[in-house]
Amino acid sequence: MPRSWLLRVCNFTYTMNKFTFTAICAALLTGTACFLSVPAFGGSCCGGGGGAALVLPKMYQDIVDVSFDSEKYEGFWSPQGEYTYAPVGYQYRLNAGYAHRLAENWQASISVPYVWNDNQYSNGSAHYSNIGDTMLNLWYEALEDKSAWKIRSMKDLIPSVTIGPSILIPTGISPYDNRTSSYDITGRGFYRFDGNILITKTIHPWTASLTLAYGTYLQRAVDEEYGRYVEPFEEKLGNRSFGAVSLGYIYYIGSAGDTLTGTASLSTLREENATINGQREPESGFQKDAYGGSLAYSSTDSDWAIRVSCSNAIPRNGWGSNFPATQIYSVGVSYAFR
């Protein structure tokens, strides 16, 4: 029976003085980074509140966001959770995002990455670039945070609650495309549907957030892998869950109202074992825990925002499994239209 995609793409071999690292697809990592990114604005946006994908603040109609990620591979966790240090490559991503308000409490967004893979291995190096997988989001603002300066009543404790579905579209290069090298992978090759909830609460100058997501992949037929035809089979990646908490502090610069928001976060990502022809593939799922931080500057009118952020794996036994350990550094800028 063929091995699952995750085992093929996250294939780590370590023998004596030879280490071969096959980088995991950018779409998976981009999916993680998307949830960990720190966009521009406070409140219900992931900016000051720490949270998830691109979300418009209440008073805005559109937002354009551009960011650049640098991800360094520091090693990997075995399926048993044992960490091995092995720095062998980088991945770079240029992410373009856009969100639009559809109605008073409804908004939609799109995020598209362009990916550069830069890998080093025992016999040389490999370089490749292409578009990654596209993420579409639909959000409903169920509750609004009044962002209280002082708690005077129970209403001041009501958080912002934003919920909605998202879909990952496999626009990147996957093992099922006509590519012969696993170093060329920039996407997962599967559609995925997620349910998301974003909860934020601000009591100035403090802001906190909780992000939860659960997703399932669509099953697909496979008859080609890395440019070679194989006996057809049906494959489905395992269900995926994500959670993150963050705490931030908003510092007001002078009397003009500009803000500088620092945020610290913890996150966990899980994916269950894949199935092939309905049979579970052992040790094909993965786990990754990470900590992160961000610093975001927002102008007085909040139309412009600039941020820097990082998300680092915890390079210790038990803090991941069947997954590369990486350090992600990001810089981005956003502009919102009223």
Whole-model pTM? 0.83
Q: Which residue has the higher pLDDT, 47 or 5?
A: 5
Mean pLDDT across the stretch 102-113?
A: 96
pLDDT at position 215 over 90: yes
Mean pLDDT across the stretch 300-316?
A: 89
31-35, 56-60, 139-143, 277-281: least confidently modelled range: 31-35
Q: Please write the tens of the pLDDT for every residue from 220-274.
A: 999 988 888 999 999 999 999 999 999 999 998 877 778 999 999 999 999 999 9
Residue 268: name the closest of 206, 212, 331, 310 by CA. 212
DSSP for 24-55, written as a single string = PPHHHHHHHHHHH---S-STTSHHHH--SS--
Question: Secondary structure of the chain: what % helix, strand, coil (to 5)?
Answer: 10, 60, 35
- Quick one: fold of 5-337? Lipocalin (2.40.128)
Q: Is the dihedral of CA 175, 179, 182, 184 positive or negative?
A: negative
Three-state DSSP class for residue 154: helix
Domain range summary for the chain, segments of one domain joined by +: 5-337
pLDDT at position 26 over 80: no
Q: How far apart are CA 185 and CA 188, in angstroms?
A: 8
pLDDT at position 51 over 50: no
Q: How far apart are CA 195 and CA 13, in angstroms?
A: 35
Mean pLDDT across the stretch 167-185?
A: 88
pLDDT at position 71 over 90: yes
